[in-house]
């Protein structure tokens, strides 16, 4: 691999999450030369060794027969790299691989999501997909990060939390502990059972996968659309959680009064439910009136590719060309 990477013609970028891993090979002029997709590579979900195998496989696939000396940079952005120790462990895990050098970038996939939505040096990115996490960046290199390891780090939000809330409220409506809600009937229909306790028992004994609970998240929005007050409360909570991430990032970075883009991605956000979007906008108006909400549909590999190209010395025309090509991946 090229020592400085400044004149090497190619760059590789990888974005890895819980369900899939994308890798792209880009020329320094912004041309997309190759793309491959593998299974999930989050080290928190798959384990370090499995993650490294998946990342290595997609990188070798896009590199093909090209010489390593022609590779300027490799950038890896993976979910589950929330602590400095996790990043250090991942670096150790890839150290033996021929494409990995001291110049290889390894970081959380939120940075890729952020650059998919904005080129601003001051920005916040929030992912609201299966789970939820956020990062804030400032032009001087300062960042605001969160552990994002579930309830023990105070996390709530995303499809997992929404689906669990739907089942929680449905169960309480079914046995009388909670208020009546449309969620009860909608959850029963989603599970395909006449009585909710049947599905609860199946979940308990492992006859149903927990992924079926996460899959209930659209039910919350359907019930909210029909005016169900319980479901509306869940959606409003999700909006508050997103706003709270933005607020804390901006507070830590001293950007409360700046015109900062708040980039929000992930499946829950991309659905753009009017109640959720309105809740986020209203919340941001209170805590950061100059901030701009940017909900993006582009996959994070777009941002990963742009970061890798920029680090390789690509010019603005090349980056603009790459943005168009990567948006279609």
Q: Are residues 244 and 292 in the same domain?
A: yes
199 shares a domain with 92: no
Same-domain check for residues 163 and 257? yes
Task: Report the pLDDT value the prediction gives residue 1, as an integer from 0 to 100.
Answer: 58
Q: Tell me: do 183 and 279 sit in the same domain.
A: yes
Give the C-alpha separation, 164 to 57, whole Å: 35
Query: Using an 8 Å Cβ cutoff, are 235 and 269 in contact?
Result: no
Residue 2: predicted pLDDT: 53
pTM: 0.91
pLDDT in tens, the chain (329 residues): 554 444 689 999 999 988 899 999 999 999 999 999 999 999 988 999 999 999 999 999 999 999 999 999 999 999 999 999 999 999 999 999 999 999 999 999 999 999 999 999 999 999 998 899 999 999 999 999 999 888 999 999 999 999 999 999 999 999 999 999 999 999 999 999 999 999 999 999 999 999 999 999 999 999 999 999 999 999 999 999 999 999 999 999 999 999 999 999 999 999 999 999 999 999 999 999 999 999 999 999 999 999 999 999 999 999 999 999 999 99
Full residue range of the structural domain in which residue 84 is found: 10-109+300-326
Shared-domain flag, residues 134 and 169:
yes
The sheet carrying 71-78 orders its strands as 32-39, 20-27, 10-16, 71-78, 105-108
88 and 131 together in one domain = no
Are residues 200 and 263 located together in one domain of the fold? yes
Question: Are 45 and 139 found together in one domain?
Answer: no
In Å, what is the CA distance from 135 to each residue of 82, 186, 325?
Answer: 10, 35, 26
- pLDDT score recorded for residue 19: 84
- Residue 255 included in any domain: yes
pLDDT of residue 5: 41
Beta-ladder partners of 123: 137
State whether 225 and 308 are in the same domain. Answer: no
Q: Are residues 238 and 313 in the same domain?
A: no
Q: What is the CATH number of the domain that holds 151?
A: 3.30.420.40
The answer to the question of residue 4 being in a domain is: no
What tokens appear for 67 in the block?
A: 């010489």
Contacts of 143 (CB under 8 A, 6+ apart): 135, 136, 137, 253
Tell whether 308 and 218 lie within a shared domain: no
Residue 197 shares a structural domain with residue 77: no
Q: How far apart are CA 215 and CA 163, in angstroms?
A: 6
Domain count, the chain: 2
Task: For residue 2, tell me if it sits in a domain.
Answer: no
Q: So what's the pLDDT on residue 8?
A: 86
- Res 18: pLDDT: 82
């Amino acid at each position: 691999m090229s020592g400085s990477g400044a004149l090497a013609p190619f760059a590789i970028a990888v974005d890895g999450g819980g369900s899939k891993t994308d890798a792209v090979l880009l020329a320094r002029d912004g041309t997309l030369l190759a793309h491959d997709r593998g299974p999930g590579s989050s080290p928190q979900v798959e384990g370090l060794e499995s993650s490294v195998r998946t990342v290595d496989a997609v990188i070798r696939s896009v590199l093909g027969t090209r010489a390593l000396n022609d590779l300027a940079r490799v950038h890896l952005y993976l979910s589950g790299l929330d602590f400095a120790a996790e990043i250090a462990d991942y670096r150790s895990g890839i150290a033996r691989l021929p494409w990995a050098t001291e110049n290889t970038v390894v970081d959380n996939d939120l940075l890729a999501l952020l650059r998919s939505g904005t080129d601003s040096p001051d920005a916040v990115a929030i992912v609201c997909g299966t789970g939820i996490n956020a990062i804030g960046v400032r032009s001087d290199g300062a960042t605001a990060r969160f552990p994002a390891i579930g309830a023990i780090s105070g996390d709530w939000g995303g499809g997992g939390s929404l689906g669990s809330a739907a089942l929680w409220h449905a169960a309480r409506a079914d046995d009388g502990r909670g208020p009546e809600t449309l969620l009860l009937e909608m959850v029963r229909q989603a599970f395909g059972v006449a009585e909710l306790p049947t599905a609860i028992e199946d979940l308990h004994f492992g006859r149903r996968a927990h992924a079926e609970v996460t899959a209930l998240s659209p039910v919350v929005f359907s019930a909210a659309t029909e005016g169900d007050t319980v479901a509306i409360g869940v959606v409003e909570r999700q909006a508050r959680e997103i706003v709270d991430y933005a607020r804390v990032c901006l507070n830590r970075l001293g950007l409360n009064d700046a015109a900062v883009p708040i980039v929000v991605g992930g499946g829950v956000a991309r659905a753009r439910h009017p109640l959720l979007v309105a809740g986020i906008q209203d919340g941001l108006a209170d805590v950061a009136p100059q901030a701009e909400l940017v909900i993006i549909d582009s996959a994070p590999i777009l941002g990963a590719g742009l970061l890798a190209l920029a680090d390789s010395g690509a010019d603005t025309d090349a980056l603009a060309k790459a943005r168009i090509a990567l948006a279609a991946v």
